[in-house]
Amino acid sequence: MGPAYDLTSRNVTKLPDLHAKLRAALESDVARMSPVSGGDINAAWDVHLQDGRRVFVKTNEHSPPRMFEAESEGLEFLRAGLDKQCSLIVPEVIFVGPDLLVLEFLQKVARADYAEELGVGLAKMHAASADEFGASRPNFIGTLGQRNEPRERWADFFREMRLEAQLSLPGATRLIPPGCKRRFEILYQKFDELLGPDEPPARLHGDLWGGNAFFTASGPAIFDPAAYGGHREVDLAMMRLFGGFSDRTFAAYNEAYPLAPGAELRLEVYKLYPLLVHVNLFGGGYVGSVEDILRKVT
């Protein structure tokens, strides 16, 4: 759970400084700590404290303003949608600072038998409605800022805050060809018929690829959110786009919270957002996938 530690990276806090920060934040000295791999944005640590606690720590001395605070807010937003009967786990936030985030430690285990519980847990979390389409403040998806200004209609939010916001960034402006941009305009004209029927805003993880979920001894866990209130199929679309989830998870989800007719086409539309994010973060290798989906849905 969490990004990789890289001694050559600018994001690494010197160990004596990190020990001091943790002592001040957690009121306990560090007994031992080891780096955790998994990503390339922050340094991450498995930390054992002298008082017996074990915590997961992210650090980044050069993080964008509010990055860890936004992650903390997203985790609390998702946790608020879980009831006592839900086996889905969202890690508890222990401390958050400008360059430091401390979470409860979750131990990954090989438990494929939790695939159905993941589907049911996500369904319950989505069914615990959010207040609006959007969020009170912006947050991040990867290292990109994510706009969340609320809109009354989901179609307007998805168009303005997700697709148009990504298309306006330098990478997409440079790499998305004019014909592809015209297809987006055609797509927008079809939103009212394509994105229905109306549903209340769900509590979305927002960045639910396979690296942001695993199984623990107590149940399935999700983390590293880009959370907001939106259509629940957005999470399912990202899960399908990048793989890593069992067919049993999707079947259990649909049994617990059935999708409305036309979901397969809508899932294609919702894949456009993470693909545009990847265009802006990683370059033109994802443009072809954007074009393929636009041909399907327009």
pLDDT of residue 12 exceeding 70: no
Q: Based on the fold, state whether residues 87 and 136 are members of the same structural domain.
A: no
Claim to verify: residue 150 and residue 278 sit in the same structural domain: yes
- Share of residues in the chain with pLDDT > 70 (%): 94
With contact defined as beta carbons under 8 Å apart, do 41 and 142 qualify?
yes
Longest Cα separation, the chain: 61
This prediction has a pTM of: 0.92
- If asked whether residues 82 and 124 sit together in one domain, one would say no
Establish if 7 belongs to a structural domain. Answer: no
Q: What is the pLDDT of residue 3?
A: 33
Neighbouring-strand partners of residue 214? 221
Q: How far apart are CA 209 and CA 241, in angstroms?
A: 8
**Are residues 100 and 245 both part of a single domain?**
no
Boundary-marking domain end, from 104, 135, 152: 104
CATH number at 53 reads: 3.30.200.20
Total domains present in the chain: 2
Q: Does residue 131 form part of some domain?
A: yes
Closest CA to 58 of 93, 24, 108, 86: 93
| Least confident interval from 39-43, 156-160, 201-205 | 39-43
Task: Tell whether 58 and 148 lie within a shared domain.
Answer: no
CA distance 104 to 54: 7
Looking at 49, 80, 104, the residue that finishes a domain is: 104
Q: What pLDDT, on a 0 to 100 scale, did the predictor assign at position 7?
A: 31
The CA-based dihedral angle spanning residues 2, 275, 68, 233, taken in that order and rounded to the nearest 10 degrees: -90
- Look-up of token digits 């989505």: 126
Domain presence at residue 3? no
Of 35, 69, 104, the one marking the end of a domain is 104
| Residue 135 and residue 66 share a domain | no
214 and 119 fall within a common domain:
yes
Query: Does residue 157 sit in the same domain as residue 269?
Result: yes
| Dist. CA 109–CA 216, nearest whole Å | 5
The reply to whether omega before 65 is within 30° of 0 (cis) is no
CA–CA separation, 103 and 95 (whole Å): 7
Q: How many angstroms separate the CA atoms of 265 and 244, rounded?
A: 21
Mean pLDDT in the chain? Answer: 92
* Alpha-carbon span 292 to 188, nearest angstrom: 17
| Residue 209 vs residues 25, 140, 171, 223, 235: alpha-carbon distances, Å | 31, 15, 22, 10, 9
Residue 2 lies in a domain: no
- Asked if 118 contacts 86 with a C-beta cutoff of 8 angstroms, the reply is no
At 38 the pLDDT is 65
4, pLDDT greater than 50 = no
125 shares its domain with 190: yes
pLDDT of residue 61: 86
CB atoms < 10 A from the CB of 63, how many? 21
Q: Around 161, how many Cα atoms within 13 Å sit in the side-chain half-sphere?
A: 25
Could you tell me if residue 6 is inside a domain? no
Task: Tell me which residues are annotated as active site.
Answer: 207
End-to-end CA distance of the chain: 38
Identify the domain containing residue 260 by its residue range. Answer: 112-297
**pLDDT digits 0-9 by tens, 86-119:** 889 999 999 999 999 999 999 999 877 789 999 9
CATH for 169: 3.90.1200.10
With residues binned 3-state (H G I as helix, E B as strand, rest as coil), the percentages for the chain, rounded to 5, are: 45, 20, 35
